[in-house]
Amino acid sequence: MYKLSGVVKKYRKGGAVITALQGVDLEIADGEWLAIKGPTGHGKSTLLQILGGLDRPTEGTVDFDGVSLASTPERQVTRLRARSFGFIFQTFNLIPTLTAVENVEVALVPLGVGAVERKARAEQALAAVGLAERLRHLPSELSGGQQQRVAIARALVKEPTVLLADEPTGNLDEGTRDEIIGLLERLCHTRGRTLVMVTHDTSVASRAQRVGLMRDGRLTIPDPADRPSA
Amino acid sequence: MFLVYLRRELRRRIRQAIFIALGLALGIGLVITVVAASDGVQNSQAAVLHALYGVGTDITVTEPPARGSSVGTTFGFTQEVKNIRTGVVAPGTKISTNSLATDQYGIINSGVLAKIARQPGVTGAAGGLVLNDLTVTGTVPQITVGNGLGSYRSSFTSRTFNVDGVDPADTALGPLSSGKISSGSTLTAAEANADDAVVGSGYAAQNKLAAGGTIDVGGTNFKIIGVVTTPQSGDPPDVYIPLAKAQQIGKNGSSALTGDVDTIYVTAGSAADIPAVQAGIGKLLPSATVTDSSDLASEVTGSLSSASSLASNLGRWLSLAALVAAFGVASLLTMTAVARRVREFGTLKALGWPTRRIVAQVIGESLAIGLAGAAVGVCLGYVGTFLIGKLAPKLSATVGPANGSSVTGPGQALGTAASSTLKALTSGSHTVSVPLTAPVTADLILIAVVLAIGGGLIAGMFGGWRAARMRPADALARVE
């Protein structure tokens, strides 16, 4: 599915050049769950953004199902984002003025899905994450865990091939964290989705099939056989 | 989704939306009020010119008096003085003399009228005679050596009124055209050679004249067939008689006026034809004064002129400044609102929303605010124009000086010709009082709505431009 080779990402901040990624090589298979751990500010989120076509590498290649995310025109990458990538953010990023069901519908808008079907699919997605009773609630009327469930429903409603989660449990308490991770794990497993999750939570990362470690913009992925048993 | 999102977003920042809409509304309301007031002033000017100049008349043609010609209205009296001096009339003799003569202009042969009527762009031409009826009565004083003309004058009283010879076959042109018959009837082609007269309402009231009565004009007894009222309390000629009769009994100095006119009233096919018609007449009558209504408008002074100047200068600039300020504030606030929603738009981009869709959303929100501003602005405009109608004092328009010697006000250079036309047409100085109205037309509302939508679009485009420039990664990386 993904093949990254020699990916470098440099930012210019003020007068200084910051290198966020320093030659990342990575392959991710279909249906795989990859967790990327590492301290804050070491390039985890940058890597996730490059995987999701939100940013382009300064050097190197990013291949997604035969499409180069580094060189494909922005319009096509936008279409790819709409169709194939589901994003889940640490801060949920729900539209504050829209209800839960409308927030989920938002993901179907760029696909040109009609209003009736859009609503039905959004309600179904919310039911799948246990929020069938909260369809008309605004984000401000939901708890953090419920908001993240809405965000998961929004990411999954379009049946993407990849789910990209950036610290999805970072703002949640321990109980809710386990609940959300369990939900994600189950949905990705039953639907055969690829899941790439950035986290600095070891207990969350330990549930992934593979765990990568980002440090100073470099990614190392130990052989699964070397992982200590949980 | 577009409308739901738009509505919810506007509801979220309702105070800001109201503030922007009110800013636009104030600008729009001001534009409506100022433009309507300006139109009202122009209408008032047109009404004044109507009253003074005649409905439908586009151009007036007159000739300056011939060099060395005597002033017609004093000719009869000067002759009497000569008679007294030469002893033809003895002291103590009671005398009464009357003259009906041209007052201001040179004579134009009415043959020119047909030539003017044939000019391209001319749709109508009618001739007229502007005469002055002077009656002097008194007793001849004892003549002593050294007595000047002034001492003779002091022994006599005079009565004077203005007489217009109008073409009864074409009363749609010329001074009679602006009047309404308040009693009796007007002159018609049937009265072309009759001793019939129409009297101005002001003169009739002053001299207790009425339809059915008679009036002496130039020594001829005319039957008053009607009383005419001119709009806007203008001061038109006192008496109207058929042109043919005026030519028959009037004099130019000591010469008869048979076949002559001294004023030609012309209508053009359209306003665009007026310059060409003026040029054509100028070729036919090189020394003639060819005056159009815009020349006359420049001779109107008083509060109407001040209001016109205020509306066209300060008012328009003020409304333009208010509009630009409203657009600027709307644009800045929209850009600020977009900047606050950077994460929201970043999320939408991450979800695959094309940039154009996000820009359309921002522009849509601004347009909705613009439409609200237009609606409120039109209401404010109506309130403004209503208040102008209710509170504004009546405007006065002064045409020509009180002593008839000069005309003050803008357009002085051009004014020499125009003012002399006015002096004769209106018999000197006149102050016309007109109410100021501010008519709101459908066109004006349309312009206001387009302006408000334009303001919304401009603000939305600035906001959209800012949203379009966001990279989703940057937007999501920002912590609010």
Tens digits of pLDDT across chain A (230 residues) = 899 999 999 988 878 888 999 999 999 999 899 999 988 888 888 999 999 999 999 999 999 999 999 999 989 999 999 999 999 988 888 999 999 999 999 999 999 999 999 999 999 999 988 888 999 999 999 998 899 889 989 998 998 999 999 888 887 788 888 888 888 888 788 888 899 999 888 888 888 999 999 999 999 988 766 555 54
Out of B352, B355, B476, the one facing A82 most closely (by C-beta) is: B352
Q: Which one of B222, B257, B287 terminates a domain?
A: B287
Residue B224: predicted pLDDT:
94
B343 touches chain A (CB under 8 A): yes
From chain A, pick out residues whose CB is under 8 angstroms from the CB of B346: 93
Q: Which residues on A lie below 8 Å from B4 (Cβ)?
A: 98, 102
Which of B11, B12, B352 lies at the smallest CB-CB distance from A110? B352
ipTM: 0.91
Residues within 8 A of B (CB atoms), A 26-45 only: 45
Q: What is the mean pLDDT of residues B288-313?
A: 67
Q: Does the pLDDT of residue B279 top 90, yes or no?
A: no
B112/B14 Cα distance (integer angstroms): 72
Closest CA in chain A for residue B478: A91
What per-residue confidence (pLDDT) applies to A200?
A: 83
Exposure letters A117-151 (e unless 16+ CB within 10 A, then b):
ebbebbbebbebbebeebbebbbeebeebbbbbbb
* pLDDT, tens digit, 9 for 90 and up, residues B103-140: 778 888 878 888 888 888 888 888 888 888 988 888 77
Q: How confident is the model over B345-368, as pLDDT tens digits? A: 888 989 999 988 988 988 898 889
Tell me: pLDDT of B178 over 50. Answer: yes
**Do the Cβ atoms of B351 and A54 come within 8 Å?**
no
Touching A: B residues 71-110, CB under 8 Å: none
Are the CB atoms for A158 and A82 separated by under 8 Å? yes
pLDDT at position B86 is: 72
For residues B100 and B39, membership in a common domain is answered with no
C-beta atoms of A107 and B352 within 8 A:
yes
Query: Is B217 in the same domain as B260?
Result: yes
Least confident of A144-153, B213-222, B307-316, B333-342: B307-316
Q: Record the tokens describing residue B120, joined without a space.
A: 């391209």
Note whether B472 contacts A: Cβ–Cβ < 8 A: yes
Of A19, A2, A43, which Cα lies nearest the Cα of A219? A43
CB contact under 8 A, A54 and B473: yes
Last residue of a domain, one of B226, B255, B287: B287
Same domain, B98 and B233: yes
CA–CA gap between residue B467 and residue B462 (Å, rounded): 9
Q: Which residues of chain A have a CB within 8 Å of the CB of B12?
A: 96-97
Distance (Å, whole) CA B305 – CA B282: 29
Examine residue B33 and state whether it is found in any structural domain, yes or no: yes
Q: Are residues B29 and B112 in the same domain?
A: no
Domain boundaries of chain A, sorted by first residue: 31-42+75-226
Rounded distance between C-alpha atoms, residue A191 and residue A158, angstroms: 12
pLDDT digits (tens, 9 = 90+) for B179-224: 788 899 988 888 888 999 999 888 999 899 999 999 999 888 999 9
A70 Cβ contact list (under 8 Å, min separation 6):
A56, A57, A60, A61, A62
Question: From the CA of A145, how many Å to the nearest CA of chain B?
Answer: 19
CB half-sphere exposure, A10, CA atoms < 13 A: 9
The topology (CATH level 3) of A31-42+75-226 is Rossmann fold (3.40.50)
Closest residue, chain A, to B12 (C-alpha):
A97
pLDDT higher at B320 or B150:
B320
Query: Which positions in chain A touch B473 (Cβ < 8 Å)?
Result: 46, 49, 54-55
pLDDT band at B56 (very low <50, low <70, confident <90, very high): low
- In terms of residue numbers, what domain contains B412? 2-51+303-477
CB nearest to A81's CB, from B4, B352, B355: B352
pLDDT at B417 (0 to 100): 44
Q: Residue B297: inside a domain, yes or no? A: no
- Give A109→chain B minimum CA distance, Å: 8
Q: What is the pLDDT of residue B39?
A: 77
Q: Inform me whether the pLDDT recorded for B307 exceeds 80.
A: no
Question: Strands, DSSP E only, in chain A?
Answer: 2-13, 16-28, 33-37, 59-64, 67-68, 85-88, 162-166, 194-198, 210-215, 218-220
Q: Which chain B residues are within 8 Å of A75, Cβ to Cβ?
A: 354
B76 has a pLDDT exceeding 60? no
pLDDT higher than 70, residue B428: no
Task: Identify whether B323 is part of a domain.
Answer: yes
Distance from CA of A11 to the nearest CA of B (A): 11
pTM for the model stands at: 0.61
What average pLDDT does the segment B68-84 reach?
57
Is B166 a member of any domain? yes
**Closest residue on chain A to B4 (Cα):** A98
Q: Which residue has the higher pLDDT, B236 or A57?
A: A57
For residue B23, the SS3 value is helix
Establish if B121 belongs to a structural domain: yes
Token code pair at residue A72: 């494909």
Closest CA in chain A for residue B479: A91
The DSSP secondary structure of B308-352, one letter per residue, reads HHHIIIIIHHHHHHHHHHHHHHHHHHHHHHHHHTHHHHHHHHHTT
In a domain, B110, yes or no: yes
The label of the residue with tokens 């002001």 reads B202
Q: Are residues B355 and B268 in the same domain?
A: no
Shortest alpha-carbon distance between residue A149 and chain B (Å): 16
Q: Of the residues B262, B287, B312, which one is the last residue of a structural domain?
A: B287
Residue B59 lies in a domain: no
- Tell me how far apart the alpha carbons of residues A52 and B31 are, in angstroms, rounded to a whole number: 51
Q: Which two three-digit tokens encode residue B162?
A: 């203005």
Helical residues (DSSP H) of B392-441, grouped into ranges: 412-426
- The pLDDT value recorded for residue A178 is 85
Q: How confident is the model at residue B62 (pLDDT cuts 50, 70, 90)?
A: confident
Q: Is A82 on the interface with B (CB under 8 A)?
A: yes
Tell me how many domains chain B contains. 2
- Please tell me the distance in Å from B325's CA to the nearest CA on chain A: 30
Task: Give the residue with greater pLDDT, B250 vs B294.
Answer: B250
B296 belongs to a structural domain: no
| Best to test chain B binding among A40, A76, A78, A111 (most B CBs inside 10 Å) | A78
Q: Are residues B450 and B331 in the same domain?
A: yes
Q: Positive or negative, the Cα torsion across A63, A67, A69, A72?
A: positive
Q: Do residue B312 and residue B198 come from a single domain?
A: no
Task: Report, as an integer, the average pLDDT of B381-409.
Answer: 63
Residue A109's pLDDT is: 94
Q: How far is CA B325 from CA B332, B385, B450, in A?
A: 10, 22, 17
